[in-house]
Every structure is written in structure tokens, then in C-alpha cells.
Amino acid sequence: MLTATMSQIPPQPPTGPLPADDLAKLIERVATLRDREALAKLFDIFAPKLKAIMLRHGANSAMAEDLAQETLLVVWRKAHLYSAQRGAVSTWIFTIARNLRIDHLRRQSNRPYEDLEGVEIASDAPGGDRIVEENQIVDRVTLAIRTLSKEQQDVVRLSFIEDIPHSEIATRVGIPLGTVKSRLRLAYERLRPMLEDLQ
């Protein structure tokens, strides 16, 4: 009697920004105290989101869960290497999941990304305050994405969430590749004050 959905498990309602302070504290507890409960909380927050995006990339349910699990396992292993330089907690987790996805789903090397992590970036104050600030920046970006035009939101989503190359977005949406790129540039311009923290 119910119509079939893409996944057997119904999606949960969208969540608002995650609490910036809490996330910073959780990651710090994992890094310094090897606190398993803190990791479990990060799991509760991020695993369902990671599973959702992996499903969109074409993974089946078991593989999507595995990749979500594996992402959190990398968080556990690398927490001591995390700093505000790696971005907000959600940004760092996004990049870990992206690299795993390139390895597993695209079957390509993620080394260009991994090797880049070794490049030392001029660092400002490394402490927890800076992480909270990064989290707040990303919260503002999350909200700002929702104020983009529908067209701009679509290309941002298709690219960042659905993992679709620009040329394929052009085919899917039925617009020239140049238009995909100009919509992304416009989206960037709109998000720029938040992305560059100019507020």
C-alpha cells in the first residue's frame, strides 16, 4: 500500500545546524582522552547523514553503512591529527568520506587528496576556539545554501552530495557545461561572505 521509495528505511527529517561547541568538545575528547562515548555521539550525528549520501552515490544499503562506519573509524584513528586547519568537524568528516568514496565507489586513487594533507599549511591559533569558530562558519554556510536559487542549490547538491561530475550534471539537467559552471560560480559568490568569514 505504500509507494516504493529509493531506500527501505525512510529518511529522517532534515536537521538544523549542529551545535558548534558540542562538536568541538566531542572531537577533542576523542583525540585527547580516546573517549569512546564521544565517538559514539559523533556516530549518532554523522553516520545517518553519511549513509544517506553514500546511498545517493549508488552504494547499496550494506555498503553505505560500511562506508559510514569506516569514516568514523578513520575519525577515531586520525582524531589527534585534526585541527581547525582541517576545517569544521563536519568539513573534516566530509573530506574523509569523500576520500573513502573515491577509493571504493569510483575505484580511483585518493592519493592526490591524502598527500595534500601532508602539506603544512601556515597555521594560526590551533586551539579549540578556532574549531568552534570553524563550526560556526559552516553552520552559516549550511543556512546560506538554503537561500540560494533553486537552480544554484541543485548544482551544488548534485556536485557535493550526489557526486556527479560537472559534465554529467550538464547532461542530466539539460544545460550546457558552461552553464553548470556559471551557476556554481554564482553560488560561490553568494556564499562568499560566509565562506571567507567576512561577516
Partner 1 sequence: MITQHPDISTLMAFSAGTLDEPYALVISTHVAMCEACQEGVRRTDRIGGAALSGEAGVAMSDGARLRLLAALDADDAIVVKSPVEVSEMPVPLRRYLPYGLSSIRWRANGPGVATRDLPVSPGVKSRLMLLKVAAGRRVPEHSHGGQELTLILQGAYKDRFGIFATGDIADHDEDVEHQPIAEPGEDCICLVAVDAKLNFRSRLIRLLQPLFGM
Give, as ranges, the residues between 54 and 93 that touch partner 1 (CB under 8 A): 55, 61, 64-65, 68-69, 72-73, 76-78, 80-81, 85, 87-88, 90-93
In sequence order, which residues have a C-beta less than 8 Å from that of residue 73 and are 6 or more positions away?
none
Distance CA 95, CA 121 (A): 16
Q: Which is nearer to partner 1, 25 or 76 (CB)?
A: 76
Q: At closest approach, how far in Å is the CB of 198 from partner 1? A: 11
Q: From the CB of 1, what's the least distance to partner 1, in Å?
A: 21
Options 2, 174, 196, 199; binder of partner 1; rule CB under 8 A? 196
Query: Site residues for partner 1, window 171-190 (CB under 8 A)?
Result: 177-178, 180-182, 184-185, 188
Q: How far apart are CA 114 and CA 99, in angstroms?
A: 8
Considering beta carbons, is residue 91 or 128 the nearer one to partner 1?
Answer: 91
157 lies in the binding site for partner 1 (CB under 8 A) = yes
CB 153 within 8 A of CB 184: no
Check binding of 150 to partner 1 (CB under 8 A). Answer: no
Rounded Cα distance between 182 and 25, Å, is: 39
- Residues in 108-127 at the binding interface with partner 1, rule: CB under 8 A: 108-109, 111-113, 115-116, 118-122
Q: Tell me: does residue 149 bind partner 1 (CB under 8 A).
A: no
Contact 51, 34 (CB under 8 A): no
* Displacement of CA 8 from its chain's centroid (Å): 23
- Contact flag: residue 48 with partner 1 (CB under 8 A): yes
CB of 124 to partner 1, least distance (A): 12
All residues at 6 or more sequence positions from 30 whose CB lies less than 8 Å from its CB, including other chains: 38, 39, 42, 75, 76, 79
